[in-house]
Structure 1
Amino acid sequence: MTGYQGRGLHGQVVEQMGVRIVGGAYPPGAPLFSEQLEREFDVSKTVVREALKVLAAKGLVESRQKRGTVIRPREAWNLLDGDVLRWQGREPPNFMFLENLAEVRGIVEPAAARLAAGRRTDDDLEELESALAAMAAARQDPDAMVDADLRFHRALLDAAHNEVLSRMEVVLAAGLQVRDRFVHHSEYGSDPMPSHRALLDAIREGDAGLAGVTVEALLAQAAADLAEVREHADRSATAPKRATSRRTQTARTAPSTT
């Protein structure tokens, strides 16, 4: 999901404003002034107007009489929009949203795996095998691993041969892309190959029950990996504060030299 990056001035304004809104830089109800945005981004009134239209279509902003354009509350956002999903994966990560996406994966992917075990074609198996090989080749390249993992899970949905399930890719891909970026770029994630290989084997054998259970185990490990990454991120974020606190306490209790 490349979003609006690289789509000219209008796209750049959409991208930067979207990241800011989703990231919480603007609180709900905060006004956006076109003249200020024109100066900040050094763009024309037309560019700003078109960018705000795009953001409004995603549920992020709305125009109100006498108040102009304002930020809408989170519950009004189109959370299934590909860009809104992607923007929530920017720094700092929204771990609560990632956990919500993990729950959706837990509902969708086991069902998709069971269907795939009964419906997969030779072409489906070939694509799953190719994606798995790409994952194996990308062990030392986190970015390539993310791409290969996304490819595998897209192939899994497609192997179910249900066009509605295939459209769930936009949601699952967003969660996977963000989750993988943190896990595969860290030193705490587990080896994803055994669980993915086991899933492919179950689908190849046509064992729907085993395929579903295998996905559930895969997702449980993915959740554990993300939790570990989050724990270390939380520790890193609080460590300076603790150090400062200790220094402050020492300063308070140290005997005066004056």
Structure 2
Amino acid sequence: MTSRLHNLVIESVGTRIISGDLAAGDTMHSEHLETELQVSRSVAREAVRVLQSLGLVESVKRVGIRVLPETSWNVFDPSVIRWRLAAAGKGAQLRSLTELRSAVEPAAAELAARHAPSDLGAELMAVAAKMRSVGRAGDLQQFLDLDIHYHGLVLAASGNEMFARMQSMIAEVLRGRTDYGLMPERPHEEALQLHMDVADAISGGDPEAARSAMDKIMRRTMEEVGSVWADEPRIFTQLP
């Protein structure tokens, strides 16, 4: 029960900040959260600590809980990604994440072809084959689960722990694409084959082919969903 209430506070406040209902500079008080959401002081305080770790708020003595600007947000955190994909500016968020994937995943596939243990390569082949079967059957939910596992395996097989830690972030991108109706009713045959090609290249130790096939996957993704962000302005963040 405590865990559920804790998550309720985080979700409620987090979504309001990301959506703009609570603007940068707005202040809240822990007591108000306790009353509004009917939670204990300890639950409210712990939830605020989590929101602080996400860069969404700060506690200011004698002022309260202050909402921070977007430049302070931890944009790599899966919760922040999920909230941003549910907000009005989801197109810009999807573009940023897809461009990040386009830069990282081909490199991860190349590294995986060079360094992946044989058991990971075999598992990747098995997952790709199942993706093709499930995709042809039109089971988008099972396909999503397999797709998340597949891309996580590629990142992990790279042997780069920084890439591997991006698994949960990419999982939220893939979930968002499905949840917001940005997937075709059935994955295209070319996309299914490209996933097989990446797995085959990694399993066979062919770095150039692995990078090329993953790059094609990402370019296809950009083409399929690019219309979502066509009119979204780019975000230019000032460096400190």
- The two structures have a TM-score, normalised by structure 2, of 0.83
Shift of 1:202: 2.1
Amino acid at match of 2:145: D
Which deviations, in whole Å up to 9, do the C-alpha atoms of 1:184-225 show, x marking residues without a partner?
Answer: 655496443122112122223322112111111110101111
Q: Which residue of 2 aligns with 1:163?
A: 161
Distance 2:2 2:185 in 1: 32
Which deviations, in whole Å up to 9, do the C-alpha atoms of 1:56-85 show, x marking residues without a partner?
Answer: 121101122443111100101111223222
Please tell me whether residue 63 in structure 1 is matched to residue 59 in structure 2. Answer: yes
Please tell me whether residue 196 in structure 1 is matched to residue 195 in structure 2. Answer: yes
- Structure 2, unmatched stretches of 5+, are 233-240
Distance 1:45 1:96, change over 3 A: same
Amino acid at match of 2:106: P
Distance 1:93 1:75, change over 3 A: closer
Pairs within 5 Å for 1:146-225: 146-182=144-180, 185-187=183-185, 190-191=188-189, 192-225=191-224
Amino acid at match of 1:156: V
Shift of 1:153: 0.6
Residues 25, 68 of structure 2: 8 Å contact kept: yes
Distance 1:201 1:180 in 2: 26
Residues 31, 70 of structure 1: 8 Å contact kept: yes
Distance 1:212 1:13 in 2: 42
**Higher normalized contact order (CA 8 Å, seq sep 6+, divided by chain length):** 2
- Structure 1, unmatched stretches of 5+, are 235-258
Does the residue aligned with 2:85 lie in a helix, a strand or coil?
coil
Aligned CA-pair RMSD: 2.7
Distance 2:128 2:23 in 1: 43
Residues 112, 156 of structure 1: 8 Å contact kept: yes
Amino acid at match of 1:168: M
Distance 1:136 1:60, change over 3 A: same
Q: Which residue of 2 aligns with 1:89?
A: 85
Count of aligned pairs between the two proteins: 229
Amino acid at match of 1:147: D
Q: Which residue of 1 aligns with 2:139?
A: 141
- The two structures have a TM-score, normalised by structure 1, of 0.78
Percent of matched pairs sharing the same residue? 32
Which structure has the larger Rg? 1
